[in-house]
Structure 1
């Protein structure tokens, strides 16, 4: 997990009672300094809060926010811009933000909080995504987007793939290929994507990703068509290149705890019977080719963006179904080699 230096005197968290901090983001507009305060709470008490998903940006380029009304607290410029754009003009919002709510200088706390990340994001009422891109929320495509969901049909996209190009452009952002945001979106109850110019429902974006998959394939044979407009739109959106780029697929797999077809979103069968994945995992090629098993997840993590190489292990553990919490210790004092050794030891002993 990325970090920047701060000397803020954090009050210790009680890990036994699953304590976290949330940030009360004060109202503000325009150039007013971003301000707020930290509040301790416990996940056991089912607190009401949102969470922020964003790109950290360069940790050496910082800005200052006002914390606890009299403390100047350094955050990345990227985070400051995100908070400035999601804050309300007339009321405070309660939101969990990793760069503020975790004491990044306390390695033991980071270890414990990273281990809780799935629970933190899945318990948030809304995951608010910040993408530093300009959109025209009044364009026909953006107005039509909220109607899309996992019950939509391919024909709901119409016949012109270019019609959806204004939305496809936001997938040019490197946000989608940041490793940490993968689980932040996969486990979210609800998602709202904030950009300059407006917001959009994140789960409808996930439905769009899936429907474009359906339109780019032959409806009779299921074969991929590479030379039509829907295939071009799929490539522009980077569909299925990471969990965040095919949300419905990954959300379905982790809900069912088994692989599903990326097009039909149903578990594959052989001769009308469910596939025996445990048996197939004994074949040499299978662990690397099935994304929600540990080896496949580690393979996929190599193309995602991180600052700390340890995150290629720790940031993907929650996206596997064969590795349970505690099976691999999260410890940011270790080297990358030691972390990968832990993975290898787990696989050999399993």
Structure 2
């Protein structure tokens, strides 16, 4: 080779990744058996399946999900369309949906939308179509989802969380009415003559259901129904409404539509010098982790975000696999968690339930 010549480098051979044949050889089975396991087929006995899966892990073989999707028409992906990522309930529900979907072998593609209009939903569905998902969970807490111009794409499995049960899709939600009734009955059973309500946003399904149940429970018990104060789910709005409630000496019991507004309400009552629960009893809704650390620890309604998410994912997977849906709504029950923020009004003892 002359001095002015550039050495010719030999081509670099890329190391071949583990193949299905490698798995078959290690597991002592045919390539067809490995293919069945990789594609989730059920016609493989449990011992053989476990041996194949162990061989996959040992050699580092990962089935090609894209190729599998082309073969069987399934992508093992779930889209989630959500409006309002800042909401505590939505955040907790999304976390639980992701956990439940992963446990079922599905990946989650999240699409936040700025509002619940037809154009926003159509755009979200278009984006999910590009990402190849098998079905969609919608988490949009706004009445606009029920408007006539909001349409879902034909043929796409859909499950809706926290919406109107009149939709022609499976709907899964917390039993909002039951939770509000438990809160109000608890305060009335303690001896309070009525219960004031700090409600959530007017366009929220959850807030409207809790408000209706609060009003109906008071009516059923023959109690006066006070005017409603409305917040936006935030502690700040709870504080602003709480200042008005704290200034009213007739207020001895308040049901706040969520724990964050209850936190602001507690501050307003403390600043006014009204003891909780000595002067005013307070019940929240959600049982967020911090509720037990409020001062005083907050009596509240516990809702299971994990159960709502699990039921939603299960319903969607059933739709995907069956190719059809049933729109019978699912209501997940709630639980009253009694802590130190509620007590009988001054000078009384607790009334017996139902008295």
* Range of TM-score over shorter length: under 0.3
TM superposition score normalised by structure 2: 0.25
Q: Find the structure with the greater CA-based Rg.
A: 2
